Amino acid sequence: METIQIHDKHFVPFINRDKIERYVEFIAKQIAQDLGPNEVPIFIGILNGSFMFAADFVRKYPHECHITFVKMASYEGVNSTGKIKHLVGINEDLEGRTVVILEDIIDTGNTLAEIYEIFRDKKVKQLKIATLFFKPDVFRKELPIDYIGKSIEDKFIVGYGLDYDGLGRNLSDIYQLKV
């Protein structure tokens, strides 16, 4: 692994594919252990960033499961709160289901807060959050994160689904912004 350039910035090798695989496996094992073989969860990947994580994750998940993807989108609300976030792509009826959100990375937690808000009235049996990466130093919320692959320092990363201005998602390894 060598230093790379994306747009105007330089990135150094940070987490290689073998380590990523271990973090993904670690999360899959924990969830499988907690839910057991009889629960059929629905995993929901948050696009775009989690597509690679979700694809690898379900291959490590040893029991029956459903997998779907959603995208967060904002539109102008008709009330005074202005922008309202909603999910595009949920067609399944989630009532009574065990839902596990798959996130690529949780940073400030703003996206996570929106997800909790959206799922509040969906009458799910249980809602769990799994994130491959977590930046504890910038996290500002009092919200539970059930499964964390790896906590990392507050530096921008790319690769394995994560982008810098649209590029870098296709990299198999994770790179960190060189400062």
Q: Which residues bind ligand IMP (CB under 6 A)?
A: 49, 103-112, 156-157, 162
Query: What sign for the dihedral angle of Cα 65, 66, 72, 78?
Result: negative
User: Which CB atom, from 56 or from 104, has the smaller least distance to Mg ion?
Assistant: 104
Q: Does the annotation mark 107 as catalytic? A: yes
Q: Which does 3 bind (CB under 5 to 8 A by kind): Mg ion, ligand IMP, none?
A: none
The closest of 164, 159, 162, 149 to 48, measured between CA atoms, is 162
Residues 6+ apart with CB under 8 A from 103: 46, 49, 50, 111, 112, 129, 130, 131, 132
Nearer to ligand IMP, 35 or 162 (CB): 162
Measured from the CB of residue 37, what is the shortest distance to Mg ion in angstroms?
Answer: 30
Any contact of residue 49 with Mg ion (CB under 5 A)?
Answer: yes
- To the nearest 10 degrees (0 to 180), the angle between helices 51-60 and 17-35 is 60
Q: Which is nearer to ligand IMP, 40 or 167 (CB)?
A: 167
The catalytic site residues sit at 107
